[in-house]
Structure 1
Amino acid sequence: MTDGPAPAAARRIGLTDTYVAPLAVGAMLMGTRTPEPEARRILDHYVTEVVPRFAAPHGAAVPGMIDTADCYCWWEDPGSLGGHSEALLGRWLQVSGARANVLLATKGSGMLGSVDDVFDDGVANWDLARKLYVGAAADTLRLALAASLDRLGLDSVDLYYVHVDDRSTPLEETLGFLASAVDAGLIGAYGWSNAASWRLAQIRAICETHGWPQPVAFQQQHSYLRPRADLHHPGIVTTEHLDYLRTYADLQLVAYSPVLKGLYSDKARRDRRFWAMHQYAGADSDARLKAVDDVAAQTGATGNQVVLAWMMSRRWPSMIPIIGARTFDQYLECVEAVDVELDLEQLDVLQNAGA
């Protein structure tokens, strides 16, 4: 399978019969930092103006992927446990009639057991919060999925992720529950997020042993910049992840934070003190940012659009970037990347740039 200059096209989810639009919409901030009217404007535009532009190879209409989680967005509402995004999506689905045009993904295991003492002067203490995840035990996920479906107003969800890899719970327990949820029709398929590549290998082996369905999606932070060599971050794609995904085509990479808080378009955010840039800062990223700027100048596109177009050109492995915009204008800039066509020379410049 090769990468090339073809325009953005529908993506197949692994080896399933399901195809989706090549860009997904992330709903993390919807219902908190993104007010409901603004969120509905984004969602309405996505399903009416963007998704219908794409079709499966046999010509059938495809849905667009909308991504959320049960814990979104407790850190924006001190004292809450989350649920804002799912509840907003449930209200929007009820009035929009858009359910058939949406592949809806949500997640469990990342909610906190308690938010007591997690905030300091209104700012979340993430070092403490990470110790309070409820985890992926079978009973925990059973209750979490039921609560998510209730907030969404649905009987089932298309894709359900283990949001935060839980190494304290035996994988057999978690996978057994997910297999039973697929059998019961509560979820169409499942995925994993924020996990090491060796964990993906363990999951595959256990599923093969028990005859359980394999995960179809792997959601991880991924962008055009490559992380610092000394960085240890369980949520960022590594070369080992890419090797694994190239080996197993049944697992689709779904990339969150693809534009790294907009730093490809906003040069002021490229300071290494900015947390998104800090994970990538170095000579390699400097060279790759220059390549983005050069291609943006050639095409008239923004830096964010160039990076998203580059990601949509990838076939080995295939990637579905998630647009996690806060405002409609931010969303519109990113979604217009589907109109950016990069030629072979520009793709070659982007692919080979680096220190």
Structure 2
Amino acid sequence: MRYRTIGTGAARRRVSAVCLGAMKLGGDIDDATSFAILDRFVEAGGTFVDTANNYRFWEPGCTPDDSEALLGRWRAARVGDLPDELVIATKLGARPTVPGGQQDTWEGLSRPAVRAAAEGSLKRLGVERLDLYYPHVEDRSVPLEETVDALSELVDAGTVGMLGASNHTAWRLERARGLAEAAGRHRYQVLQLRYSYIQPRADLGLPETAHVHANSEHLDFVRQENAAGRDTAVVAYTPLLMGAYSRSDRELSRAYEHPGTAARLAALDDVAAQVGATRNQVVLSWMIDHDPPIIPLVGVSKVAHVDEAMEAADLRLTRAQRRTLDEAA
């Protein structure tokens, strides 16, 4: 297993190069299977787990508490057996305030909402501090200064170790950075966005309307931040496109219907054959050694999926193989 460092100063943490997405654990997936997945991830060297305070309220039979509460039960059952470096990231802002509520009912990112959300996540996860805390989505009904201040206050109070931002546009990230710097506040040190080897068209939206895909502006922002000494990590969700690389029954959305998709899949198959790996593993390896480096966030439903993803962290592509992948258009 390879590892990455995220954060700076006292917030600095060493995490596995693959992050385990816990969105379905405890809701769609029963406790026994969820525990087995988490146990295998840690056994294989995984130290980075991702959840949110709303997973998966939109699915029949699920509640927004499911994923965090499952992780809390797992941690309690494994006291003394978990690695000290384990990092559990969670998110706030998109939790409905009424059962099954749409976006206009979400808790948002006001100062009171931030404080209440943190208290709820601490309780469900059974922890005294949230390792990494992201605003899940933007809330433009609230002044950005208020959100930046409220989150920074949680760090000052010891409630949160490190701040990140999920599903934010590049210009909002830069504005938040400027506000934090001007006020001596804590900045976002980790960005979570959608990203994969196959790229969607910019002129067609994704069907998952809350998803924000990393674009050239996001990646340039991260490169410039890192060059300036403000280390910023990228965590990418949906790296395997919900199984579309490996399953014929998983179709890509219209945004991926362009000539570049076929060219990239052909390059992917070429490199996979050369290294004796699966498409998924080549994609994950490509992302880990990306410029800037990307930590793929892999959602799984079986222990075997964990093994495939963790093996990808040890796969290193040659320069020629990366060139084959990068130049496919």
Structure 2 stretches lacking a partner, 5+ long: none
Secondary structure, counterpart of 1:248 in structure 2: helix
Partner in structure 2 of residue 9 of structure 1: 2
Partner in structure 1 of residue 23 of structure 2: 28
2:321 aligned with 1:346, yes or no?
Answer: yes
Alignment TM-score, normalising by the size of structure 1: 0.85
Contact 1:108-1:141 at 8 Å conserved across structures: yes
More moved, 160-169 vs 280-289: 280-289
Q: Name the amino acid aligned to 1:344.
A: R
Contact 1:47-1:101 at 8 Å conserved across structures: no
Partner in structure 2 of residue 46 of structure 1: 41
Aligned partners of 2:308, 2:48: CA distance in 1, in Å? 18
Partner in structure 1 of residue 244 of structure 2: 263
1:38-187 equivalent positions in 2, closer than 5 A: 38-51=33-46, 64-78=47-61, 81-97=63-79, 98=82, 100-115=84-99, 129-187=102-160
- Identify if the C-alpha distance between structure 1 residues 32 and 205 changes in structure 2 by more than 3 Å, giving closer, same or farther: same
Secondary structure, counterpart of 1:131 in structure 2: helix
User: Which residue among 258, 261, 264 is the counterpart of 1:288?
Assistant: 264
Q: Deviations over 1:125-165 (max 9, x none)?
A: xxxx2333221011011111101100111111110000011
Contact 1:34-1:327 at 8 Å conserved across structures: no
Identity, in percent, stands at 38
Aligned partners of 2:8, 2:176: CA distance in 1, in Å? 17
- Identify if the C-alpha distance between structure 1 residues 267 and 287 changes in structure 2 by more than 3 Å, giving closer, same or farther: farther
Secondary structure, counterpart of 2:292 in structure 1: coil
TM-fit CA distance, 1:293: 1.1
Partner in structure 1 of residue 203 of structure 2: 230
Structure 1 stretches lacking a partner, 5+ long: 1-7, 52-63, 119-128
User: Which residue among 285, 307, 314 is the counterpart of 1:309?
Assistant: 285
More moved, 85-94 vs 233-242: 233-242
- Identify if the C-alpha distance between structure 1 residues 99 and 173 changes in structure 2 by more than 3 Å, giving closer, same or farther: farther
- Identify if the C-alpha distance between structure 1 residues 161 and 319 changes in structure 2 by more than 3 Å, giving closer, same or farther: same
Alignment TM-score, normalising by the size of structure 2: 0.92
User: Which residue among 302, 311, 320 is the counterpart of 1:336?
Assistant: 311
User: How many residues are aligned here?
Assistant: 317
TM-fit CA distance, 1:243: 1.1
TM-fit CA distance, 1:266: 2.3
Aligned partners of 1:178, 1:321: CA distance in 2, in Å? 25
Secondary structure, counterpart of 1:339 in structure 2: coil
Secondary structure, counterpart of 1:230 in structure 2: coil
Aligned partners of 2:129, 2:18: CA distance in 1, in Å? 23
Q: Name the amino acid aligned to 1:10.
A: Y
Q: Name the amino acid aligned to 1:253.
A: V
Partner in structure 1 of residue 221 of structure 2: 244
Aligned partners of 2:7, 2:234: CA distance in 1, in Å? 9
Aligned partners of 1:317, 1:344: CA distance in 2, in Å? 16
Contact 2:205-2:255 at 8 Å conserved across structures: no
Contact 2:204-2:254 at 8 Å conserved across structures: no
Aligned partners of 2:267, 2:7: CA distance in 1, in Å? 30
TM-fit CA distance, 1:12: 1.5
Instruction: Please give the root-mean-square deviation of Cα atoms over the aligned residues, in Å.
Output: 1.7
